[in-house]
Amino acid sequence: MDMDMDFTAPTSWADALAAKAERPDSLPICGGTDVMVELNFDLRRPPALLDLSRIGELREWSRRGEGSGAAIRLGAAVPYARIIRELSGPAPALAQASRTIGSPQIRSRGSVGGNLGTASPAGDAHPVLLATDAVVEAESVRGRRAIPIREFFLGVKRNALEPDELIRAVAIPAAAGPQQFAKVGSRNAMVIAVCSFALALDPDRRRVGTGIGSAGPTPLAAPTAEAFLAGELDWPGLRLPEGAARRFGALVAAAARPIDDVRGTADYRRHALAVLAARTLSWCLADARTGPGGAGREEPVPA
Amino acid sequence: MSSQEAAKPRGSIGRALTITVNGRERTAAGPVPPWRSLLTALREDFGLPGAKNACEQGECGSCTVCLDGEPVCSCLVAAWQAEGREVRTVEGLGDADGALGAVQQAFVECGAVQCGFCTPGLIVAVDALVHSSPGRPPGAAEVREALAGNLCRCTGYEKIIEAVGRAAELVADQDTQHVATEGMSR
């Protein structure tokens, strides 16, 4: 009942886990950029809100491990504005995706943990997390578990969390090669993606990572396209045979499962994804030659 | 009041809420329910209608206030999340004697106001912007990026962007005068 709706604001992680165990039906809120929209429009009436914004450790990040095993452990509530300022080196595609999110007001509040909690197919961080093989750190009073990102998204706005679990952090492997993110929308700010795409190349492991946003019931990876590109690329120099970029784009488009909706048609999304995939690939190859943000950036890729 | 608030019973639901608003610790006039946004609380419970209610989904920026110094959409903050924190609204940007603040003065001088509905949110966002890098006026791209979350349907933005430049000048002048005054009093 609405009148009993409760608001709890723990100041420690242990207290948050205890509160979630006691009330598994409570809805976690932190930046509020998703949750408050649902409350304002009465789309949801959770019996309780669990405010995580007073838990300091959720707003911290750290670097773990060395060399090819290095990863960024990103606290669930680190706002996008700080990802842009502090993590563009080890997490370039995540920083790039963060710059496309909402507006300054949204980026100072919204976080990757919240994006994962909402698990929208259009969440801007998701394609990057898929492309970089991130791992979600979930925890409850029963213990902690690591959920590989490719097992995290179960359906439209459904994720693999148990009712008593909270997201504590996300482990993102530090970039070992070029990474790019691109998004299609009607303007530069305040846009829910029509579709989006992230690409991460790892020359050490000879691995290609992809992530597709807003073109399926969940964010998707494109494993066939990844295997194709990993086989075609001349590692570690990152040279590519003629025509391979176009074929890569076609395979990414084929991995999408888009629908027609208010933001775009399924056909348009497939077409745009093929363009974004070939374009981000050309940017990555240019970065490999000239360093991130190098001269090759504006190379046109035919649609 | 939000669309859902109209449908909800009013009265004794919620708890007393204390926030530092515009430099003064204040307690809401009545009990604040847990689902209420900071925007609704400011307007209904603190008697501060400066922040405007338009989209209620963070799209338009007309409800922008500073929370612990950072511009946020107050419609996307649960009122209870602001408990014990510092909120600055457009009402807190004028001088104590009722004179206009630098950003307000700049908007008037440049004709950056038409219907006025987006103005309070823009004033708060611009105030945060021009104070974020003292002594260095923000560049054109920086201004457009900083204001990307504030929609104006009247002006076409050119006068607003002009006003940002003027506000930066006024703030720099104030700082210079402040330093000069301090120097004289020593």
For the stretch B56-69, pLDDT in tens is: 999 999 999 999 99
Buried b (16+ CB within 10 A) or exposed e, A12-36: ebeebbebbeebeebbbbbbbbbbb
Closest Cβ opposite residue B34 in set A6, A105, A108? A6
Q: How far is B183 from chain A (nearest CA, A)?
A: 36
Tell me whether residues B149 and A51 touch, CB distance under 8 A: no
Closest to A50 in 3D by CA, of B16, B34, B73, B30 = B34
ipTM reported for the complex, 2 dp: 0.92
The whole-angstrom distance between residue A78's C-alpha and the CA centroid of its chain comes to: 14
CA–CA separation, B109 vs A276, rounded Å? 45
Q: How far apart are CA A22 and CA A166, in angstroms?
A: 13
pTM value? 0.92
CA distances from B146 to A7, A64, B106, B133 (A): 32, 33, 17, 13
Burial group, residue A280, by CB count within 10 angstroms (0-12, 13-18, 19+): buried
Contact A102 B58 (CB under 8 A): yes
* CA triple B107-A100-A175, angle to 5 deg: 135
Q: What is the pLDDT of residue A100?
A: 96
Query: Reading across the β-sheet that carries A6-8, which strands appear in turn?
Result: A6-8, A48-51, A27-29
Instruction: State how far residue A111 is from chain B, nearest Cα, in angstroms.
Output: 14
Q: Given an 8 Å threshold on Cβ–Cβ distance, is A49 in contact with B125?
A: no
Q: Is the peptide bond before A236 cis (omega within 30 degrees of 0)?
A: yes
Residue of B nearest to A46 (CA): B35
Interface list for chain B against chain A, based on CB atoms closer than 8 Å: 2-4, 7-9, 13, 33-35, 37, 56-59, 61, 64, 70-73, 75-78, 80-81, 83, 125, 145-146, 148-150
For residue B3, the model assigns a pLDDT of 53
- Could you tell me the mean pLDDT of each successive run of 10 residues in chain A, 303 residues long? 73 98 97 97 93 98 91 98 97 98 96 98 98 98 98 98 98 97 92 96 95 98 98 92 96 97 96 98 92 50 44
Contact A226, A208 (CB under 8 A): yes
At residue B186, the pLDDT reads 47
Asked whether residue B11 carries a pLDDT value surpassing 50, the answer given is no
pLDDT value, residue B176: 80
Distance CA A113, CA A126 (A): 11
Q: Which residues pair with A181 in a beta bridge?
A: A198
CB contacts < 8 Å between A and B, how many?
Answer: 104
- Asked if B34's CB is within 8 angstroms of A106's CB, the reply is no
A31 contact residues in B (CB cutoff 8 A): 76
Nearest chain B CA: its distance from A294 CA (Å): 20
For chain B, give the number of residues: 186
The CA–CA distances, whole Å, from A97 to A56, A146, A150, A189, A203 equal: 24, 23, 19, 12, 22
For the packed helices B158-185 and B102-110, what is the interaxial angle rounded to 10 degrees? 140
- The pLDDT value recorded for residue B182 is 64
- Tally Cβ neighbours within 10 Å of residue A288: 20
Neighbours of B171 (CB within 10 A): 20
Q: How far apart are CA B61 and CA A183, in angstroms?
A: 22
The residue assigned the tokens 């940007």 is B93
Chain A nearest CA to B177, separation (Å): 31
Residue B115 pLDDT class (50, 70, 90 cuts): very high
Burial environment of residue A217 by CB neighbours within 10 A (0 to 12, 13 to 18, 19 or more): middle
Q: Across the interface, which of A42, A102, A108 has its CB nearest the CB of B71?
A: A108
Of A33, A51, A189, the CB nearest to B80: A51
Residue B47 confidence (pLDDT) above 90: yes
Query: Nearest 5°: phi and psi at B66?
Result: -95, 130
- Residues of chain B with pLDDT > 90, as a percent, come to 77
Q: What is the mean pLDDT of residues B76-98?
A: 93
The helix (run of H) or strand (run of E) holding residue B183 is helix B158-185
